[in-house]
């Protein structure tokens, strides 16, 4: 099946620093990727939709200046948590759907392994 790689898997940083998380589709091109956030023992919440070559679409309540998304190529989207604070500590997961799935089976998403961010 399709493979989505996410890096790093874990990052610990000091408060006030910025952290970049990469999401790569390894064997397919993805014009759209998605970024989710998951707090401990809770469900995933969609943060934003990353669109190749254009601005990301953010969900309500997600600060676009706080969570910078760049989708510069068809295989790479990055999420930068700027000036991270302890409340940003969470599990961040990206996903992508391979093209050509068609309207009937669209939206089967393949997920990265996730990045656990701990801000001290």
Q: HSE of 35 in the Cβ direction (CA atoms, 13 Å)?
A: 32
* Footprint of other proteins on 10-49 (CB under 8 A): 31-32, 34, 36, 41-46, 49
The answer to whether residue 90 forms part of the interface with other proteins (CB under 8 A) is no
The answer to whether residue 76 forms part of the interface with other proteins (CB under 8 A) is no
The answer to whether residue 111 forms part of the interface with other proteins (CB under 8 A) is yes
The answer to whether residue 114 forms part of the interface with other proteins (CB under 8 A) is yes
Q: How far is the CB of 67 from other proteins (least distance, A)?
A: 14
Q: How far is the CB of 56 from other proteins (least distance, A)?
A: 11
**Which of residues 6 and 16 has its CB atom nearest to other proteins in the complex?**
6
CB 92 within 8 A of CB 110: no
**Which of residues 78 and 95 has its CB atom nearest to other proteins in the complex?**
95
The continuous run of DSSP H or E covering 79 comes out as: strand 76-81
**Which of residues 6 and 78 has its CB atom nearest to other proteins in the complex?**
6
Cα gap 56→70, rounded to integer Å: 8
Task: Indicate the burial class of 120 (C-beta count within 10 angstroms; 0-12, 13-18, 19 or more).
Answer: exposed
Q: Kindly report the three-state secondary structure assignment for every residue of 17-45.
A: CCEEEEEEECCCCCCEEEEEEECCCCCEE
Q: Which residues sit at the interface with other proteins, rule CB under 8 A? A: 4, 6, 31-32, 34, 36, 41-46, 49, 59, 91, 93, 95, 97, 103-114, 116
């Amino acid at each position: 099946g399709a493979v989505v790689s996410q890096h790093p898997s874990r990052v610990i940083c000091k408060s006030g620093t910025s952290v970049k998380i990469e999401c790569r589709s390894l064997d397919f091109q993805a014009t759209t990727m998605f970024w989710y956030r998951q707090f401990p023992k809770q469900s995933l919440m969609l943060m934003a939709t990353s669109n190749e070559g254009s601005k990301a679409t953010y969900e309500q309540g997600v600060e676009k200046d706080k969570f910078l998304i760049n989708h510069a190529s068809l295989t790479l989207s990055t999420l930068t948590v700027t000036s991270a604070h302890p409340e940003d500590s969470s599990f961040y997961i990206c996903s992508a759907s391979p093209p050509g799935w068609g309207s009937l089976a669209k939206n089967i998403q393949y997920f990265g392994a996730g990045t656990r961010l701990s801000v001290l």
